[in-house]
């Protein structure tokens, strides 16, 4: 029997265990499975030079948004995703206190791969600062500790979790 999953509950669990997002002040909002927004405000610890955000912070937001779009879609069938590759185009510098919103969507969902795209907008300055695209590998949730959170009553959970 195929099990159905409540995406909102799974996203809630994901937010609890996503230390990277919390540490960087990122907030995930799911419009629908496969379409998300990830937002954050640039803080002093995100700067690489006076007043300018490090590109790695923007890349981290991009990867998170692209992956979350893929993850919310794969959650529907009890699967997780991992990044295979992603690319980013930086269009404008990002500054201290800029409020960023990454809007991502799934463009293709296959049996083993999901492709998503996103753009990051700086709402503070009404400007698109980056665009990106990513490919994600789908795999069963029972391959990770997440299995225990998805299936708390399962008798067949792997013993090493």
Q: What is the pLDDT of residues 114-153, one digit of tens each?
A: 999 999 999 999 999 999 999 999 998 876 566 666 556 6
Beta-carbon count within 10 A of 115 CB = 18
Cβ(128)–Cβ(94) below 8 Å: no
The answer to whether residues 72 and 102 touch, using CB atoms and an 8 Å cutoff, is no
Give how far Cα 80 sits from Cα of 24, 99, 111, Å: 22, 29, 13
pTM: 0.85
Bridge partners of 36, per DSSP, are 30, 104
Instruction: Specify burial of residue 139 (Cβ count, 10 A radius: 0-12, 13-18, 19+).
Output: middle
Average pLDDT of the residues in 25-38: 93
What is Dmax (Cα atoms) for the chain? 57
Helix or strand or coil: residue 2? Answer: coil
Cα–Cα distance for residue pair 140/116, rounded to 1 Å: 19
Q: How far is CA 56 from CA 1, 66, 125, in A?
A: 43, 15, 20
pLDDT band at 1 (very low <50, low <70, confident <90, very high): very low
Res 152: pLDDT: 64
Identify the CATH number of the domain defined by range 7-150: 3.10.129.10
Q: Of 113, 27, 38, which Cα lies nearest the Cα of 70?
A: 113
Tell me phi and psi for residue 69, to 5 degrees: -60, -45
In the predicted model, what is the mean pLDDT of residues 36-57?
96
* Angle subtended by helix axes 55-74 and 7-17, to nearest 10: 150
The predicted-structure confidence for 53-99, as pLDDT tens digits, reads as follows 999 999 999 999 999 999 999 988 888 999 999 999 999 999 999 99
144-149 long-range Cβ contacts below 8 angstroms, 24+ apart: 144/80, 146/13, 146/17, 146/80, 149/13, 149/17
């Amino acid at each position: 029997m195929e099990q159905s999953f409540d995406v909102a509950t799974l996203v809630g669990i994901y937010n609890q265990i996503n230390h990277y997002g919390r540490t960087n002040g990122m907030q995930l909002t799911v419009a629908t499975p496969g379409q998300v927004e990830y937002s954050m405000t640039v803080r002093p610890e995100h700067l690489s030079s006076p007043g300018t955000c490090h590109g790695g912070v923007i890349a981290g937001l991009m990867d998170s948004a692209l992956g979350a779009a893929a993850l919310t879609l794969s959650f529907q069938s009890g699967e997780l995703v991992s990044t295979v590759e992603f690319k980013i185009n930086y269009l404008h510098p990002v500054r201290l206190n800029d409020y960023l919103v990454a809007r991502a969507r799934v463009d293709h969902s296959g049996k083993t791969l999901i492709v998503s795209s996103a753009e990051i907008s700086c709402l503070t300055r009404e400007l698109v600062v980056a665009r990106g695209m990513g490919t994600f590998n789908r795999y069963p949730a029972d391959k990770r500790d997440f299995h225990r959170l998805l299936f708390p009553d399962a008798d067949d959970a792997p013993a090493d979790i």
